[in-house]
Amino acid sequence: MSHLILVRHGQSEWNLQKRFTGWVDVELTAKGKLEACKAGELIKEQNINLNHYYCSYQKRAIETLNLILNTLRLKNNSVVKAWEFNERSYGSLTGLNKEEMIKTLGKKKVQEFRRSWNIAPQPLNKKNPYHPLNIEAYKDIPKNLVPDTESLKDTYERVIPYYKKNILPLLNENIIIAAHGNSLRALCKYIFDIDNTKISKLEIPTGNPLVLTYENKKLNNVRYLDRERAKDLIIF
């Protein structure tokens, strides 16, 4: 038996402010740090001996994973950072307040941008300070791969090839991935074979470990460790 643990980072400063974050590199809030520590405690209760640790390039995922590993008393010098697990780029919506954009664009349009499969916002101007090209953390990513905007489909097309190449071969061991709402939605779409319509209903809560249990690399159980904050997985 082996486990793949997926954790969306704890609440970030821009989550709290209800802003479209995407690739902007923001910090965890105090609540987000507590969520990460609680995630570590929940994993600890399962007595799962983790073998591999992955996260995105973004500090909110990095810090979440570090807090989990610290809670588990594990050294974090073996963490693999993969930009492919970064949050989806929200293009021209980046930095804007979600509630204000509902007033401007309407609830239906904003929901399309947030949850649809293949609708992307307008591209973000490359001169904008929020553009990933202008963020130091991403300087080693090939410029032609840095997005101006993305749909969930675009996010899927970078997450899944990385997963197939680097994670699938390890599914006979215990793995944790700390990432983001949309990169994890993309991963869940693939793992659970969720169709293009139903994926809009999938929500990933912050800081709540989703544990996938495998027998001989075949999935046989899925559960959130914090049942009070679990979301409907819409997979069975």
Active site (catalytic) residues: 9, 87
As given in the structure block, the two tokens for residue 136 are 């130091």
* Amino acid in position 86: N
Burial environment of residue 122 by CB neighbours within 10 A (0 to 12, 13 to 18, 19 or more): exposed
Cα separation, 234 vs 236, whole angstroms: 6
Nearest alpha carbon to residue 196 among 116, 139, 133, 121: 116
* Segments in 51-151 forming alpha helices (H): 59-71, 98-105, 107-115
Cα separation, 37 vs 64, whole angstroms: 8
Cα separation, 153 vs 89, whole angstroms: 12
What is the distance of C-alpha 196 from the center of its chain?
A: 18
